[in-house]
């Protein structure tokens, strides 16, 4: 029986469990003649198993012609994670800046496709990093969603202008827990708290490895008696979130609905992300049997994604190529 959890007075009952995944046919020739910018041509020699993993999750750059072939005559909607996707992973989360080239590429893509940034960061923080007014922002893993100022439908499902926040009632408890966590981990060298509004992130990238388990135990102890919250783990970060049935996959569905595409048969969602939390969005695309889930990774990892890009530099190359393709297609039909 599917678990039902209360959210702002209404029940969220749908499940993101994928249906049978649409088989993705890959051409045997991966040479896309893009002067070495593809994700598959430069395989790290020191990563065991990456070549065989790449055969199962081909480079989205190598598969670009197949992507655009399927996209013709359809509406592509672009979803992007931030850390590790648009910006490199860095020791100091406050310095995870995206490059000017990446910002320009995202802006160009957003001119041609509805584009959303779905991040674990607070919406305000990821907006400050990205600095673009023509994209949707979904912070706190999709718990805080805002449309662009000039969006056609910049309101929530109840017709209220402003942000959609399904966990708003949890804010007082989240703020209380954030203060408690600060006191709990104060003595652990390198540990730091990031307040992401609807999500509390405990970073331990700069914590000595001998203290990792101690930190995790302290955070688990604080959360254990709070049934309204759950603890998840990402890349060198622990995250405390409201235990409601809402994740990046739900945010993707909500944004498609906001854009008027929820029931459209000619929509292709494309999602690029690098972390475990992005798998929820990959599941949604897999269950639709239409679209492109793309994992960013330079090492083999379990994923539902069909395609891959090795690192943010390959994401940049892919976005530039996507914008260039759409621009040339527009000019062709003029």
Give the confidence band of 275 by pLDDT, cuts at 50, 70, 90. Answer: very high
pLDDT band for 123, please (50, 70, 90 cuts): very high
The mean per-residue pLDDT over the stretch 67-93 comes to 94
pLDDT tens digit sequence for 175-208: 999 999 999 899 999 999 999 999 999 999 999 9
* pLDDT of the residue at 22: 41
Report the pLDDT value the prediction gives residue 148, as an integer from 0 to 100.
78
Would you say residue 213 has pLDDT above 60? yes
CA–CA gap between residue 76 and residue 94 (Å, rounded): 32
Q: Output 264 or 133, whichever has higher pLDDT.
A: 133
pLDDT at residue number 163: 86
Query: Which pLDDT does position 149 carry in this prediction?
Result: 66
| Residue 331 pLDDT class (50, 70, 90 cuts) | low
- pLDDT on residue 199: 93
* Average pLDDT for the chain: 83
Taking the alpha carbons of 83, 87, 89, 90 in that order, is the dihedral positive or negative?
negative
Which residues on neighbouring strands pair with residue 161, listed in sequence order? 155
Residue 118 in 3-state DSSP? strand
User: 3-class SS at 22?
Assistant: coil
CATH number of 168-242: 3.30.70.1020
* Angle (nearest 5°) at CA 164 between 172 and 274: 90
Q: CATH topology of 74-165+246-333 equal to that of 168-242?
A: no
**For the chain, what percent of residues have pLDDT higher than 90?**
69
The domain limits of the chain are: 74-165+246-333, 168-242
Q: Are 316 and 101 in contact (CB under 8 A)?
A: yes
Percent pLDDT > 70 in the chain is 81
Q: What are the tens digits of pLDDT across the range 3-40?
A: 323 233 222 233 333 333 343 333 333 333 333 333 33
* Residue 80 vs residues 109, 189, 271: alpha-carbon distances, Å: 11, 33, 6
Residues 6+ apart with CB under 8 A from 289: 19, 20, 21, 22
* pLDDT at residue 318, as a whole number: 98
CATH number for the domain running over 74-165+246-333? 3.40.50.1000
CB 136 within 8 A of CB 116: yes
- pLDDT reading at 319 higher than 50: yes
- Residue 220 pLDDT greater than 80, yes or no: yes
pTM given for the model: 0.80
């Amino acid at each position: 029986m599917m678990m039902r959890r209360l959210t702002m007075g209404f029940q969220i009952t749908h499940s993101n469990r994928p249906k049978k995944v649409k088989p993705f046919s890959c051409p045997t020739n991966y040479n896309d003649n893009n002067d070495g910018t593809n994700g598959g041509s430069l395989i790290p020699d020191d990563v065991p198993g990456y070549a065989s993993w790449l055969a199962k999750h081909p480079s989205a750059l190598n598969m670009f012609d197949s992507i655009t072939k399927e996209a013709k005559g359809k509406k592509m909607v672009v979803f992007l994670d931030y850390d590790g996707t648009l910006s490199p992973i860095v020791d100091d989360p406050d310095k995870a800046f995206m490059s000017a080239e990446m910002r320009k590429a995202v802006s160009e893509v957003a001119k041609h496709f509805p584009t959303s940034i779905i991040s674990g960061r607070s919406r305000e923080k990821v907006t400050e990093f990205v600095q673009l007014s023509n994209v949707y922002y979904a912070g706190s893993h999709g718990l805080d969603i805002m449309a662009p100022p000039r969006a056609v439908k910049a309101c929530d499902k109840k017709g209220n202008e402003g942000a959609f926040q399904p966990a708003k009632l949890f804010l007082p408890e989240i703020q209380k827990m954030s203060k408690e966590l600060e006191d709990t981990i104060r003595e652990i060298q390198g540990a730091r708290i990031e307040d992401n509004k609807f999500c509390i992130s405990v970073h331990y990238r700069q914590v000595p490895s001998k203290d990792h388990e101690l930190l995790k135990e302290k955070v688990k102890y604080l959360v254990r008696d709070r049934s309204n919250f759950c603890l998840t783990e990402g890349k060198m970060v622990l995250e405390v979130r409201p235990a409601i049935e809402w994740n990046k996959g739900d945010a993707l569905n909500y944004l498609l609905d906001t854009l008027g595409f929820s029931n459209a048969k000619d929509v292709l969602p494309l999602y690029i992300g690098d972390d475990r939390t992005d798998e929820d969005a990959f599941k949604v695309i897999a269950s639709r049997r239409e679209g492109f889930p793309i994992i960013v990774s330079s090492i083999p990892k379990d994923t539902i994604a069909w395609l891959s890009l090795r690192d943010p530099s390959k994401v940049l190359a892919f976005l530039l190529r996507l914008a260039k393709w759409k621009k040339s297609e527009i000019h062709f039909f003029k």
